[in-house]
Chains A and B, each alone.
Chain A
Amino acid sequence: MSQDANAFQTALALILSLDPDLLDIVRLSLQVSCSAVLLAALIGLPLGAALALWHFPGHGILVVALNALMGLPPVVAGLCVYLLLSRAGPLGELGLLFTPTAMVVAQVILVLPIIAALTRQQVEELHHEYREQLQSLGLSRLRMIPTLLWDARFGLVTVILAGFGRASAEVGAVMIVGGNIDGVTRVMTTAIVLETSKGDLPLALGLGIVLLGLVALINAGAYLVGESARRRLG
């Protein structure tokens, strides 16, 4: 119990001290995870909508594969990206291993299936509901994609937050492809692992509380934006 109280004190002290090292780590965490979610959304939203609207041979297999990939272990994603970006790997020339870019790539792989699979499900339901209306407007399926995505936007915010949760919480992938280099690729989760391995459990838990607080803030922000938009639309 005393250790838990200690962790809250540590967390509070960390936040109040505005330690520049901690701020760097927080900034990098947000940059990496936000970039990954953004890129995954740019690909995953249209991809999910397309899978909802087009049915083709092998469609079912693709949907199942996408759903299964939601459970991809981060370590495996990290290992794949490591082998890809390692100097001995196919993209080694780029020299991207142990950089924040490599971490973004790994997290995109983790987040993309979540966003695409959940988007497909949301858009498919909406499409069933509005199919006749949309067809009477003479919209092609390609033109339906932005319309349906826009109509589903409130639900999709939650989808994107789920993706962000995955990105900000994982440690296995960024540890392998980033290397947890001090000041270069150290993010919140890898810092927590490091402090745990040093046996500084209060600091590790304190960092965990700071991370949880950040994620909560971002979720609260999304909630408020959603609520006010909903109210405006009546």
Chain B
Amino acid sequence: MYKAGVTLTAIGLMGLSMTAVSQDEERHITLASTTSTENSGLFDAIIPQFTEATDIAVRVVAVGTGQAFEIARRGDADSLLVHDTAGEERFVEEGYGTERADVMYNDFVLIGPGDDPAGIADAESADEAFAAIAEAEAPFASRGDDSGTNRAELRLWEAAGVEPGGEWYRELGSGMGPTLNTAAGMDAYVMADRATWVAFDNPQNLELLFEGDEGLFNQYGSLLIDPERHPHLKHDLAEQWHEWLLSDEGQQAIADFEVNGEQLFFPNAAN
């Protein structure tokens, strides 16, 4: 009797698990994108509009830009939405992508402890702000994860003529959110994309200290993946998504997205 009960429970669980496995047949694409777009809530705002218009669901895998490229290279995503223009162009040149288009932009901001020991709030330019942090050897938390933000940060250090390293420069190897959490914990400077910063709930002592330099521009691009290299991918559906992002409708949806009354992404597709 007891044995039968155990067997029945087992069969029941098995059935339950099969439903988990088989609910998979809606029309969808897999989009590899960045944590900044996911964490800020942008996708929650715009994807339902796309799905309503086309009946295609979009499944977002949010990772760093470096990992997103790798996922797409291996043929595990139908489309890409990332923010590393140089890397995106290389992706197309290498033959993995067929098309790349500007979708939207926002900017990076420099965050730091409210008392601003390096005095970057008064800096004239991003170069000057980065140089001041290095000069003061104030703790700086770097993503250190080959993400789009990390790549942009490294370019900015180079532009400032600083080779970051030493006790004060801390490579965390984590996403934007965890890096902000850690920076808050150790009162460090950190460069973040504005969207993640505005939507971030645990700033503690951190404040936005420097913004508005041209070098802090953050462009997002959408890419289509080469159908010949990966014929199994859903190119038709991915193309619809790509076109929608660039359409008036998609661009409007991006412009309408706000957090705390602040617009976080600015559409700039070339139409």
> Which A residues lie at the B interface, using CB under 8 A?
28, 30-32, 34-35, 38, 86-89, 92-93, 95, 97-101, 104, 179-182, 184, 194, 196-201, 229, 232
Q: In the complex the two chains form, is B75's CB within 8 Å of A86's CB?
A: yes
Hey, which chain A residues are within 8 Å of B59, CB to CB? 98, 179, 181-182, 184
Hey, which chain B residues are within 8 Å of A93, CB to CB? 232
Hey, which chain B residues are within 8 Å of A182, CB to CB? 43-44, 59-60
Partner of A31, one of B19, B39, B43, B203: B19
* B 32-74 contacts with A by CB, 8 A: 35, 39, 43-44, 59-62, 73-74
Binds A, one of B104-112, B145-153, B159-167, B172-180: B172-180
Q: How long is the Cα–Cα vector from A200 to B200 in the complex, in angstroms?
A: 7
Whether a CB of chain A sits under 8 angstroms from the CB of B76 is: yes
7 A-B pairs besides A104-B20, A199-B177 with CB distance below 8 A are A34-B17, A99-B21, A101-B21, A104-B17, A181-B59, A197-B39, A198-B39
Q: How long is the Cα–Cα vector from A118 to B69 in the complex, in angstroms?
A: 41
Tell me, rounded to whole Å, the shortest Cβ–Cβ distance linking A40 to chain B: 12
* B 8-25 contacts with A by CB, 8 A: 10, 13-14, 16-17, 19-21, 24
Q: How long is the Cα–Cα vector from A86 to B2 in the complex, in angstroms?
A: 42
Q: How long is the Cα–Cα vector from A182 to B43 in the complex, in angstroms?
A: 10
Closest to B174 in A: A197
Whether a CB of chain A sits under 8 angstroms from the CB of B201 is: yes
Closest to B67 in A: A176
Hey, which chain B residues are within 8 Å of A229, CB to CB? 2
Interface extent on B, as a size class? 35 or more
Hey, which chain B residues are within 8 Å of A194, CB to CB? 39
Q: In the complex the two chains form, is A196's CB within 8 Å of B177's CB?
A: yes
Closest to A184 in B: B59
Q: In the complex the two chains form, is B232's CB within 8 Å of A35's CB?
A: no
Q: How long is the Cα–Cα vector from A86 to B20 in the complex, in angstroms?
A: 20
Q: In the complex the two chains form, is A180's CB within 8 Å of B61's CB?
A: yes
With A86-B75, A98-B76, A182-B60 known to touch, is A198 a contact of B21 (CB < 8 Å)? no
Q: In the complex the two chains form, is A100's CB within 8 Å of B76's CB?
A: no
Closest to A34 in B: B13
Whether a CB of chain A sits under 8 angstroms from the CB of B125 is: no
Whether a CB of chain A sits under 8 angstroms from the CB of B199 is: yes
With A88-B74, A98-B59 known to touch, is A199 a contact of B181 (CB < 8 Å)? yes
With A98-B59, A179-B61 known to touch, is A197 a contact of B35 (CB < 8 Å)? yes
Partner of B62, one of A28, A180, A184: A180
Closest to B14 in A: A38
Q: Which of A97, A182, A198 has the most CB of B within 10 A?
A: A198
Render B235-259 as a binary contact track against A, CB cut-off 8 A, 1 for contact. 0000000000000000000000000
Hey, which chain A residues are within 8 Å of B13, CB to CB? 34-35, 38
Q: In the complex the two chains form, is A200's CB within 8 Å of B202's CB?
A: yes
Give 14 CB contacts A-B under 8 Å: A34-B13, A34-B16, A35-B13, A86-B76, A87-B75, A88-B74, A89-B74, A93-B232, A101-B21, A182-B59, A198-B39, A199-B180, A200-B201, A201-B202
Tell me, rounded to whole Å, the shortest Cβ–Cβ distance linking B166 to chain A: 27
Q: How long is the Cα–Cα vector from A98 to B78 in the complex, in angstroms?
A: 12
Q: How long is the Cα–Cα vector from A35 to B232 in the complex, in angstroms?
A: 28
Partner of B200, one of A34, A181, A184, A199: A199
With A35-B13, A86-B75, A100-B20 known to touch, is A199 a contact of B203 (CB < 8 Å)? yes
Q: How long is the Cα–Cα vector from A196 to B39 in the complex, in angstroms?
A: 10
Whether a CB of chain A sits under 8 angstroms from the CB of B222 is: no
Q: In the complex the two chains form, is B76's CB within 8 Å of A97's CB?
A: yes
Q: How long is the Cα–Cα vector from A191 to B229 in the complex, in angstroms?
A: 34
Tell me, rounded to whole Å, the shortest Cβ–Cβ distance linking B120 to chain A: 22
With A28-B20, A87-B230, A95-B232 known to touch, is A201 a contact of B61 (CB < 8 Å)? no
Q: In the complex the two chains form, is B16's CB within 8 Å of A31's CB?
A: yes
Hey, which chain B residues are within 8 Å of A95, CB to CB? 232
Tell me, rounded to whole Å, the shortest Cβ–Cβ distance linking A78 to chain B: 13
Hey, which chain A residues are within 8 Å of B203, CB to CB? 199
Q: How long is the Cα–Cα vector from A18 to B127 in the complex, in angstroms?
A: 51
Tell me, rounded to whole Å, the shortest Cβ–Cβ distance linking B200 to chain A: 4
Hey, which chain A residues are within 8 Å of B20, CB to CB? 28, 31-32, 35, 100-101, 104
A-B interface, 5 closest residue pairs, ranked by CB to CB distance from nearest: A197-B177, A35-B17, A199-B202, A87-B75, A31-B20
